[in-house]
């Protein structure tokens, strides 16, 4: 009976909007999935109550953007990645400005407003390539936001360019960078990172990029890739570190989690299913009480599980993702049209609305 009473007390704490500890999150993780989802949905409603003129609970947002991987050359050889190539591989590439420009023109014709610009850790690209690319986009497509260069890329740039990290980020911002994606977080525990991506930046390094970027006025997303070699405690440490940084800076716009996609990778790990994805997303919504937005990951989970995720704490359906190369390289390929995305949102009784990177609504 003591355990039952403690669980009921925890339920009431969550419903009242109280901050939960890691020990309490561990207990919540073991709640029935449907109950955990209902608690997460209640926290979603509380987080979005004042948004969009008080209509935040009625609206589910999405963004139309394109994922442009400017190069697949990378020298960190992550075990979970099937996308990277070396310069010795016949199918390695680095896109020209004109090739990227053509992709952006196609995006603009589809009503898109943003590019997600990420690539490998290319050991030989100079800073002029990156700054020239940012200026090229700003001058020719001023209405398109560049959501680009994950924290590991910035740590790579600081080393290759032999520049202080803050100077690198400020220089990129001044050249046209609008915001930073949360890629490369995986699990923010160095013991785990040492097993799956030993050459990638440390957990502190990832967080440092975000803290500096937020201080320079750049907003960013936060991510978690789970379901490989980490434990539940590792996942909770990851969430704790995100929450702590958000307390200090307020610079994260959203949290997105997804499960490890194993096909064609070197990492051997048990594959977790959609129930585990929904459980972790719901827990993320409850624990990350200072994050207003939680994004469903239909790209990895499929459209229908992405739809279900809207009842497990998510208020955003993510990106149309006109182009996606990294997840599909690992054997998971899901595609969707704007009409299909809007239909999936409407089926649950929500109003689908396009947004920009800062969660401002676009159009009528």
Q: Reply yes or no on whether the pLDDT at 328 is more than 60.
A: no
Tokens, residue 30: 């073991």
Tell me what the mean pLDDT of segment 85-113 comes to: 86
Checking phi first, is residue 109 left (phi over 0); if not, alpha (psi -120 to 50) or beta? alpha
The pLDDT of residue 260 = 84
List pLDDT tens digits, range 1-25.
Answer: 566 779 999 999 999 999 999 999 9
Asked if residue 326 has pLDDT above 50, the reply is no
Quick one: which H or E segment has residue 221?
strand 219-226
How far out from the chain centre does Cα 339 lie?
A: 23
Domain chopping of the chain, boundaries: 33-354
Alpha-carbon dihedral sign for residues 36, 38, 40, 43: negative
pLDDT at 299: 86
Least confident residue range of 19-28, 44-53, 114-123, 168-177: 114-123
Percentage of the chain with pLDDT > 90?
77
Determine the average pLDDT of the residues in 80-97. Answer: 72
User: Left, alpha or beta for 308 (phi > 0: left; psi -120 to 50: alpha)?
Assistant: alpha
Task: Average the pLDDT over 196-220 and give the result.
Answer: 95
Residue 335 has pLDDT above 80, yes or no: no
Comparison of pLDDT for 335 and 163, the residue scoring more: 163
Given strand 65-69, what is the order of strands in its sheet? 65-69, 114-118, 145-148, 179-180, 219-226, 252-259, 293-295, 316-319, 59-63, 351-354
- Across 23-48, average pLDDT: 98
Whether pLDDT at 219 is above 90: yes
Evaluate if residue 345 carries a pLDDT over 70. yes
Q: Would the pLDDT of 270 be above 80?
A: no
Phi-psi sector, 286: left (phi>0), alpha (psi -120 to 50), beta? alpha
Question: For the whole model, what pTM was predicted?
Answer: 0.92
Mean pLDDT in residue range 303-316: 96
Lowest mean pLDDT: which of 179-193, 240-254, 333-347? Answer: 333-347
- The confidence score (pLDDT) of residue 324 equals 47
Q: Report helix, strand or coil for 76.
A: coil
Tell me the average pLDDT across 297-316: 94
In whole angstroms, what is the distance from residue 237 CA to residue 247 CA?
A: 15
Nearest 5°: the CA angle 330, 222, 358 is: 115
Question: Is a pLDDT exceeding 80 seen at residue 272?
Answer: no
DSSP string, 135-180: HHHHHH-TTSEEEE--HHHHHHHHHHHT--HHHHHHHHHHHT--EE
Whether 239 has a pLDDT exceeding 70, the answer reads yes
The CATH superfamily holding the domain 33-354 is: Aldolase class I (3.20.20.70)
Query: How sure is the predictor about 331, in pLDDT bands with cuts at 50, 70 and 90?
Result: very low
Residues with Cβ within 8 Å of residue 6, at least 6 apart in sequence = 27
The 8-class DSSP code of residue 202 comes to: P
The C-alpha atoms of residue 261 and residue 129 are separated, in whole angstroms, by 31
């Amino acid at each position: 009976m003591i355990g039952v009473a403690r669980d009921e007390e925890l339920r009431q704490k969550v419903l009242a909007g109280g901050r939960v500890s890691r020990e309490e999150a561990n207990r919540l993780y073991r709640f029935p999935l449907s109950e955990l989802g209902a608690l997460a949905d209640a926290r979603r409603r509380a987080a979005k109550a004042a948004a969009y003129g008080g209509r935040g609970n009625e609206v589910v947002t999405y963004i139309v953007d394109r994922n442009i991987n400017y190069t697949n050359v990378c020298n960190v050889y992550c075990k979970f990645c099937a996308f990277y190539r070396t310069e010795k591989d016949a199918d390695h590439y680095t896109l020209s400005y004109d090739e990227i420009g053509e992709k952006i023109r196609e995006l603009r014709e589809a009503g898109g407003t943003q590019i997600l610009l990420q690539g490998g850790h290319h050991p030989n690209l100079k800073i002029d390539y990156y700054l020239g690319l940012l200026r090229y986009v700003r001058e020719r497509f001023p209405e398109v936001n560049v959501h680009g260069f994950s924290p590991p890329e910035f740590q790579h740039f600081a080393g290759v360019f032999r520049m202080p990290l803050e100077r690198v980020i400020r220089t990129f911002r001044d050249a046209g960078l609008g915001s930073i994606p949360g890629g490369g977080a995986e699990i923010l525990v160095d013991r785990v990172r040492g097993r799956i991506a030993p050459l990638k930046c440390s957990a502190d390094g990832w967080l440092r990029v975000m803290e500096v970027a937020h201080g320079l006025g750049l907003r960013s997303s936060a991510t978690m890739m789970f379901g490989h070699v980490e434990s539940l405690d590792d996942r909770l440490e990851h969430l704790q570190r995100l929450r702590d940084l958000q307390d200090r800076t307020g610079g994260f716009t959203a949290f997105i989690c997804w499960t490890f996609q194993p096909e064609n990778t070197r990492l051997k790990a048990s594959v977790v299913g959609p129930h585990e994805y929904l459980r972790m997303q719901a827990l993320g919504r409850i624990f990350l009480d200072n994050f207003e937005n939680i994004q469903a990951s239909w790209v990895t989970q499929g459209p229908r599980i992405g739809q279900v995720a809207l009842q497990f704490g998510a208020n955003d359906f993510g990106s149309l993702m006109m182009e996606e190369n990294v997840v599909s390289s690992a054997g998971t390929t899901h595609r969707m049209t704007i009409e299909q995305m809007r239909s999936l949102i409407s089926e649950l009784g929500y109003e689908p609305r396009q947004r920009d990177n800062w969660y401002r609504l676009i159009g009528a």
